[in-house]
Amino acid sequence: MKIGFKKLVVIGLLLTCNFVVAQETNTEVIGTLVDANSSQPIPYATVALYNNSTKDIITGATTDDKGQFYINTSASGFYIEISFMGFKTKTITDFTLRNSKIDLGVIKLSEDNEALEEVVVMAEVSKTVFKLDKRVFNIGKDISSTGASAIEVLNNVPSVNVNIEGEVSLRGSSGVQILINGKPSVLADESSNALGTITADMIESIEVITNPSAKYEASGTAGILNIILKKEEKKGWNGSVTLNTGIPDNHSIGLSLNRRTEKFNLFTQVGVGYRSLPRDSEAINTDLSNNEAVFSKGTSYRDETFYTITLGTDYHINDLNVLTLSGNFAYEVEDQPSETNFKTYDSNNTLLSSWLRKETTEATNPKYQYELNYKKQFKNNDDHSLLLSVLGRFFGKDQSSQFDNSVRIGTVADNNQQTETKFQQADYTFKVDYTSPLSETFTIETGAQYVINDVGNDYEVRDLIGGNYEVIDDLSNNFEYNQKVLGVYFTGSYELEKWGIKGGLRLENTDLNTLLTNTNSANSQNFTDYFPSLHTSYKVNDNVSFQAGYSRRIFRPRLWDLNPFFNIRNNFNIRRGNPNLQPEFTDSYELTSIYKIGKASFSSSLYHKYTTEVVERVSTSVDNVTTTTPENIGTNASIGFETNGKYSLSKWLTFTGDFNFNYFDRVGSFQSQSFDFSGRQWSSRLGSKIGLPADIDIELTGNYQSGFNTVQGDVTGYAFLDLGVRKKIFKGKAIVNLGVRDVFESRISERFVSQPTFETYSFDQRGRFITLGLSYGFGKGEAMTYSGGRRR
């Protein structure tokens, strides 16, 4: 009872960020690790301190390129354990403390020539620490020895969740930007299995950035995950073959190969498959002036055959210079059939008409990506570096659709129609980053980035008139979108052992031009904005740390937010863009704590965001035709609390949880209508991982998303459950993976719009998805745990 009360008191203190710092006497532990046979230094070995009484780990570190290590601790009564793959573990209990320093000198490790038949999981050394503007999850032997893929490693990182299909989310939000060694990479493309070619023992750490500093582009995202790879990557051949099937149709086969030598790292992936994505939809439009209503209900599919290939190489010119060249090409063939039933009713609820609208859509989508990176490190310091990168992407769509109506009762309010779309998007990114540690405590960063987005969307609608299809000029046009963003930044950081501060400023110029060529209607925006950032962190002890941060962000309207044309699948519920839409700006403040109590670890954050020129979707209705467009409406002030934790009840049972609560206050008006209101929204996730005998893992993840108010109505909440079962065979070389997403088919979207003159209701549901995958790893690689890929 007393112990439980003390824990509650500690948790309360942490959440309110009130703490008392006791005077501590720190001990430095230093030494150099070498091979007993060759006397060569051993980099990236694990050095850990353990409590003499409880045998629990206190803290740890890894050796650098020269085999040297440094540990600073306030603990006493410990022993030292040193381990590295292929060498015998060394335990040191006899050492001398002089002037608060333990100098172990040169330590020799002997090779372990015995072949291990199974992996022995040592005490956990993976841990999260604060580094000013980010949290760094250092990969310890508990994870790196398991042979897991990078996707599975991400699922161990606090605040990060990876579902059974391999989709990554941060604080419950998808759309996370994933970097490899601080830069974009085709290996970080979630739409493929590329991350599966990176195994856990190649990863040194993962950086979690929820409130990016001025170093990163100011466009608002859910956050950034940066995977830092070890310099000493596994040499030889790595590879895997994957086979997948699923209901609804989700069938594919893939091959991954990787070859590493002293100078080169060559990798390739080839895949082919077929998948289907059904969607059930309903809508009700009611005209309150005459109480007439239009009902629609139907099912649409996106059936896709895809082919993809990835090629790339890292060329290590020497120890200080690395050149990377990679590319990816994919080709998709789409078929999008749909059937929608329409009914109209009068004010007495009498059926006036009924008809079936059938769509046949075919499309081909070529897309490719290439990147060239050059990284130079300087001899005086590994962190002193220059990075140059060029990234190019292209996506095209050639699509044609046929819409046919079949009358059942009364008359049809729709025409038979055809549409044709030719879409092309090219993106180019040029980037330079320079980092210079001026001293052991002070570091500066500077750089520039230039991004070009060039898009063309030629859209034509034809109606059946007098037996012939004629072009409808009012609905057809060629929309051109060109955006250029130039950004430059500078940051400076001062970091001590326990405390640090980092400030920066980013300057971005946006040049945006849109043109409707048929009507010669042009819109241009050119603006320059400043994006400051400030971050600080304080480490109380090895179990408790705090971090505070501020940054200014921008949301630039995307192509589909600006394009005024639309899909005519349902002519009574139209969505179109707004060429006059302005960007929204957000000031973001955050206070975060991370702490460990016994077997449980927690991270909690208080955050506040103030957004101007908020982009909201506004609906209008004329003759029961509802048109929804994005508009800039006022401001939004929100304050929230987010916490997540992990509790390992035993070696075979682990619980994880996330909770996010947000209160918001909206102020704004549109067309003389006030949109002032307040609301709240919250979400939660509770997951469990159960380890069974025979290398079987079961994952259960329950999610809940509350309902919330919108500017014109509300959105209902929903709960859903995901299930995953994995079985390792052939000593981990092969993995069988069964996944069930939305077990009870309860993940739905319901939206209501209630206005003085009209009401609308919409419903969407994806349904249950079942996937079964088999992956086999060969050479020095391991099987890819997430073999199903991510549905898009």
Asked whether 592 and 604 are in contact (CB, 8 A), the reply is: yes
Nearest to 715 by CA among 763, 669, 778: 763
The DSSP code sequence of 247-288 is ETTEEEEEEEEEEE-SSEEEEEEEEEEEEEEEEEEEEEEEET
H or E stretch at 172: none
Could you tell me which residues come within 8 angstroms of residue 651 by beta carbon, excluding any fewer than 6 positions away?
Answer: 121, 691
Task: State the sign of the Cα–Cα–Cα–Cα dihedral 565, 566, 571, 573.
Answer: negative
Query: Is pLDDT at 210 greater than 70 in this prediction?
Result: yes
Least confident of 116-120, 215-219, 373-377, 402-406: 116-120
Compute the radius of gyration of the chain from its Cα atoms. 29
**Which of 222-231, 499-508, 767-776 comes out lowest in average pLDDT?**
222-231
Structural tokens at position 115: 């072949």
Query: For residues 336 and 359, is the Cβ–Cβ distance under 8 A?
Result: yes
- Any idea of the CA torsion for 114, 118, 122, 127, to the nearest 10 degrees? 120
Q: Which of 35-39, 587-591, 725-729, 763-767 has the lowest mean pLDDT?
A: 35-39
Q: Name the residue among 654, 653, 750, 738 with its Cα closest to residue 708.
A: 750
Looking at residue 20, its pLDDT comes to 34
CA atoms in the 13 A half-sphere facing the CB of 438 = 9
pLDDT above 90 (res 575): no
Beta-sheet pairing, 90-92 with 78-83? antiparallel
194 SS3 class: helix
Phi then psi dihedrals of residue 560, to 5 deg: -75, -15
Q: How far apart are CA 228 and CA 139, in angstroms?
A: 10
Using left for φ > 0, alpha for ψ between -120 and 50, and beta otherwise, residue 345 falls in beta
Q: What is the model's pLDDT at position 697?
A: 84
Long-range CB contacts (within 8 A, 24+) of 288-294: 288/756, 288/757, 288/758, 288/759, 289/757, 290/347, 291/346, 291/347, 292/344, 292/345, 292/346, 292/347, 292/624, 293/344, 293/345, 293/624, 294/342, 294/343, 294/344, 294/345, 294/572, 294/624
Q: Which residues of 320-336 are buried (b: 16+ CB within 10 A; e: fewer)?
A: eebebebebebbeebeb
pLDDT of amino acid 293: 94
pLDDT of residue 570: 81
User: What's the confidence (pLDDT) of residue 12?
Assistant: 43
Do residues 688 and 650 make contact, with C-beta atoms less than 8 angstroms apart? no
- Strand 236-247 relative to strand 477-495, pairing: unpaired
Contacts of 323 (CB under 8 A, 6+ apart): 314, 315, 317, 372, 373, 374
Q: Give the separation between CA 705 and CA 224, rounded to whole angstroms.
A: 23
- pLDDT, tens digit (0-9, with 9 covering 90-100), for 374-407: 999 998 787 899 999 999 989 898 999 999 999 9
The per-residue pLDDT for 143 is 47
Distance from the Cα of residue 600 to its chain's centroid: 25
Kindly report which listed range (454-468, 506-520, 772-786) carries the lowest average pLDDT score.
772-786
In angstroms, the CA 210 to CA 590 distance is 9
For domain 127-238, the CATH superfamily is TonB-dependent receptor, plug domain (2.170.130.10)
What mean pLDDT do residues 118-133 have?
51
Cβ 544 vs Cβ 14: under 8 Å: yes
> Among 352, 490, 348, 516, which residue's Cα sits nearest to residue 433?
490
**CATH assignment of 26-109?**
2.60.40.10
pLDDT for the residue numbered 123? 36
Give the sign of the dihedral formed by CA 662, CA 546, CA 208, CA 782.
negative
| H helix or E strand, kind and range, residue 153 | helix 150-154
What pLDDT is attached to residue 694? 82
More confident residue, 278 or 734: 278
pLDDT greater at residue 732 or residue 283: 283
The H helix count followed by the E strand count for the chain is 4, 47
pLDDT, greater one: 56 or 590: 590
CA distance 377 to 386: 7
For 382-397, the DSSP string reads EEEEEEEEEEEEEEEE
3-state secondary structure of 152: helix
Query: pLDDT value at position 502?
Result: 93
The pLDDT score that the predictor gives to residue 786 is 36
The number of CA neighbours under 13 Å toward the Cβ of 287 is: 16
Least confident range of 69-78, 103-112, 157-166, 594-603: 157-166
Q: In the predicted model, what is the mean pLDDT of residues 30-50?
A: 82
Neighbours of 773 (CB within 10 A): 27
pLDDT score for 145: 42
Beta carbons within 8 Å of 632's beta carbon, 6+ residues apart? 581, 582, 584, 613, 614, 615, 616
pLDDT of 349 reads 92
Please, are residues 168 and 162 in contact by the beta-carbon 8 Å criterion?
A: yes
Token code pair at residue 140: 């310890």
Q: Higher confidence at residue 38 or residue 331?
A: 331
Beta-carbon contacts of residue 528 (< 8 Å; ≥ 6 apart): 507, 508, 509, 510
Residue 716 confidence (pLDDT): 93
- The whole-number pLDDT of residue 112 equals 63
- In Å, how far from its chain's centre is CA 647? 23
**Residue 719 DSSP code:** E
pLDDT at 156: 67
Average pLDDT over residues 313-333: 88
CA distances from 442 to 160, 224, 318, 681 (A): 30, 24, 28, 41
Q: What is the DSSP string of 495-533?
A: E-SSEEEEEEEEEEEEEEEEEETTTTEEEEEEEEEEEEE
Report which secondary-structure segment, H or E, holds 5.
helix 2-15
Residue pair 80/58 in contact (Cβ under 8 Å)? The answer is: no
On the question of pLDDT at 410 being above 70, the answer is yes
- Mean pLDDT check: name the lowest of 118-132, 203-217, 378-392: 118-132
pLDDT tens-digit map of 612-633: 998 888 888 888 888 888 999 9
pLDDT at 437: 93
Residue range(s) occupied by CATH 2.60.40.10 in the chain: 26-109
Does 713 score more than 60 pLDDT? yes
Structure confidence by residue, pLDDT tens digits, 335-350: 999 999 999 999 999 9
The model's confidence at residue 509, banded by pLDDT at 50, 70 and 90, is: very high
Residue 16's pLDDT is what?
Answer: 36
The per-residue pLDDT for 358 is 94
Residue 385 has a pLDDT of: 92
Which CATH number does 260-779 carry?
2.40.170
Of the listed ranges 144-158, 646-660, 688-702, 744-758, the one predicted with least confidence: 144-158
- The answer to whether residues 324 and 266 touch, using CB atoms and an 8 Å cutoff, is no
CATH 2.170.130.10 domain position(s) in the chain? 127-238
Q: Which two tokens stand for residue 272?
A: 């082919």
Give 218's pLDDT tier (boundaries 50, 70, 90): confident
pLDDT in tens, 129-186: 667 777 787 776 554 444 456 776 776 676 776 654 456 777 655 557 787 776 665 4
Q: Decide if pLDDT at 739 tops 80.
A: yes
pLDDT at 121 (0 to 100): 33
What's the angle, vertex CA 293, arms to CA 289 and CA 298, rounded to 5? 155
Is the model's pLDDT at 505 over the cut of 50?
A: yes
Question: CA-CA distance, 26 to 75, in Å (whole number)?
Answer: 8
- Residue range 438-449: mean pLDDT, rounded: 94
Over 90: is that where the pLDDT of 75 sits?
no
Q: Which SS3 state, helix, strand or coil, does residue 545 take?
A: strand
Please say if the pLDDT value at position 17 is more than 60.
no
Q: What is the pLDDT of residue 117?
A: 33
3-state secondary structure 577-607: CCCCCCCEEEEEEEEEEEEEECCEEEEEEEE
Mean pLDDT across the chain: 81
More confident site: 754 or 237: 754
By the 10 Å C-beta count (0-12 exposed, 13-18 middle, 19+ buried), 540 is classed as middle
Say what the pLDDT of residue 781 is: 47
Say whether pLDDT at 21 is over 60: no
Q: Rounded mean pLDDT of 429-438? A: 94
What does the pLDDT read at residue 401?
A: 92
Distance between CA 264 and CA 259 in Å, rounded? 8
What number is the average pLDDT over the span 733-745? 87
What contacts 383, CB < 8 A, 6 or more positions away? 435, 437, 443
Average pLDDT rounded to a whole number, residues 285-304: 92
Cβ pair 64, 43 in contact under 8 A:
yes
What average pLDDT does the segment 255-284 reach? 85
